[in-house]
Structure 1
Amino acid sequence: MESSLNSMDLVQFIGKLGDLKDEHYHLTLTLSALIELMIEKELITRRELEGKMSELDQLMIRSPYPMA
């Protein structure tokens, strides 16, 4: 009986993973559309966007905890 429970847990996990992939795709598509519209309307430039992306990426690379 335990192995069938584990199998059902695995099936549910795989289903949830599929749902997350769909949600990730739709969020990425929405974000891409918003960025393109902002660039088309000249609210931001690609250079400004790339600069901000680089700045935020550097913040993520650094450890939030000081090394003693």
Structure 2
Amino acid sequence: MMSQQASSVRDHLNLVAKLADLKEDHYRILLTLSAVTELLIDKGLITRQELELKTAALDTELDDLIVASLHPMG
């Protein structure tokens, strides 16, 4: 039977491995998003300014939703 300490070490290693996988997934998603964004700009379908404005608007909207969820009666 595995000791509690060995089990804890194994759990820690599993968590580290999962984190590494998430970082790789995150990198791939950001790389793909960057490529798509550059293609849209290169093809003239959007401008950098439009992208920046939309990003700022979505960021503000998300902030507002987070604040509202933290203070539902406020």
The two structures have a TM-score, normalised by structure 1, of 0.93
Aligned to 2:21: 19
Task: Look up the equivalent residue of 1:59 and give its one-letter code.
Answer: E
Deviation, 1:64, is: 3.2
Task: Show structure 2 runs of 5+ residues with no match.
Answer: none
Compute the RMSD of aligned alpha carbons.
1.1
Residue by residue over 1:10-63, the C-alpha shift from the partner in whole angstroms, topping out at 9 and shown as x without a partner, is 000000000000000000000000000000000000000000000001011112
Percentage identity across paired residues of the two chains: 43
Deviation, 1:67, is: 4.1
Deviation, 1:9, is: 0.2
Runs of 4+ in 1 over 6 A off after TM superposition: none
* Aligned length in residues: 68
Counterpart-to-counterpart distance in 2, 1:48 and 1:13: 39
Task: Show structure 1 runs of 5+ residues with no match.
Answer: none
